[in-house]
Structure 1
Amino acid sequence: MNKKILISVVTLLAFGLIFAFLYRAFSGPASFRAYENDARQVQKKVSLVTINNRNYNAEVAKTTEEQALGLSGRDSMPETDAMIFPFSPPQTVPFWMKDMRFALDIVWIANGKVIGVEKNAPPPKIGAQPQDLPNYRPPAPVDYVLELNAGQSQYFNVGDAVTILELNQI
């Protein structure tokens, strides 16, 4: 009889430990990070960017942290979406494709005009080291950089006017 009680107690303890482990795994910090990321997405500022009668809903990467992260880690982006990086004062800031999963067109904007485009910047190969990634630089200081899905820059040219309308938070 003592052996049956001991086996029952050990079994209950094992199930209790498994339950505690699973509870912690699904409700711990990782779950909080997912919630935090969702909350951050909801609070993003958005601008409407128009180039050559083509509109893009651009997520604004204003802070240093947002600019460092950019679109990296995302699997894709809707065709009419973009990310815009404001710089004040204008800068000759380098961009790279670290942790990107899809190709981009990088549009350099100064004084309300497209001054250059890096077409079809490819995502890095798996295992590529950061020091081996190319840096993309504007031809002159820019006050905005716009990242679009690769191929979107076919709809406009260098010299085209750019309108940026700041929208409320979504």
Structure 2
Amino acid sequence: MLPLSNFTNKVLIIVFGLLLLIFPIFIFASTQKKSYEPREDEKYLTLEINKVKITAEIAKTPKEVARGLSGRDSLGETNGMLFYLGARRNATFWMKDMKFPIDIIWIDKGTIVYIVENAPVPTQNNIPAYTPDKLATHVLEVNAGFVSEHSIKIGDRLEIPTN
């Protein structure tokens, strides 16, 4: 009987030790910030930065992301376009075929990490492109002056209210 009891004790110690190792990993993984991923049928989303609500059109396919706001005449005062990048990356945005200046906001897992204010309308000889020095999961384009008007800065949170 004694050998079985020693064996049982050893098994219990090993199982308990494994649980002590695995539990913190599980807790860490479950508390990591998740980035927003749009549903396939989702076209618009209400966002909030510094208590300012923004109605954002969602660009999620490569074609939608490439086209962006190009060719449009304007954007509503509290409207924007949210680009879903799929994975964290240094996404370069350019002003090709833009008809109005914009502010460009790069977001990583809900936190603003890079901002370009007042990106100008391109000329025939100069199409500006902007690349952040940080990785991002999303990019938000809004009217030029929006960032300044609402005191938006790096480190601010972009909230996506749940329905």
TM-score normalised by L of structure 1? 0.67
Counterpart residue number, 1:29: none
**Cα distance between partner residues in 2 of 1:62 and 1:166:** 19
TM-score normalised by L of structure 2? 0.70
Which structure ranks higher in relative contact order (CA pairs < 8 Å, sequence separation ≥ 6)? 1
Matched, 1:70 2:68: yes
Output one character per residue of 1:3-52: Cα deviation in whole Å (capped at 9) or x when no partner.
Answer: xxxxxxxxxxxxxxxxxxxxxxxxxxxxxxxxxxxxxxxx8611111111
Contact 1:44 1:59 in 2 (8 A): no
Quick one: which of 92, 101, 109 aligns to 1:94? Answer: 92
Gaps (5+ residues) in structure 2? 1-40
**Cα distance between partner residues in 2 of 1:166 and 1:81:** 18
CA displacement at 1:111 relative to structure 2? 1.9
Runs of 4+ in 1 over 4 A off after TM superposition: none
**Does the C-alpha gap of structure 1 residues 166 and 83 become closer, same or farther in structure 2, counting only changes over 3 Å?**
farther
Contact 1:94 1:138 in 2 (8 A): yes
- Matched to 2:136, the amino acid is V
Counterpart residue number, 2:25: none
Quick one: which of 152, 155, 159 aligns to 1:159? Answer: 155
Gaps (5+ residues) in structure 1? 1-42
Seq. identity, %: 40
Counterpart residue number, 1:144: 138
**Does the C-alpha gap of structure 1 residues 83 and 164 become closer, same or farther in structure 2, counting only changes over 3 Å?**
same
CA-based RMSD of the aligned residues comes to 1.6
CA displacement at 1:166 relative to structure 2? 6.9
**Cα distance between partner residues in 2 of 1:140 and 1:79:** 27
* Richer in helix (by share): 1
Contact 2:122 2:128 in 1 (8 A): no
- Matched to 1:83, the amino acid is M
Three-state SS of the structure 2 residue aligned to 1:139 is coil
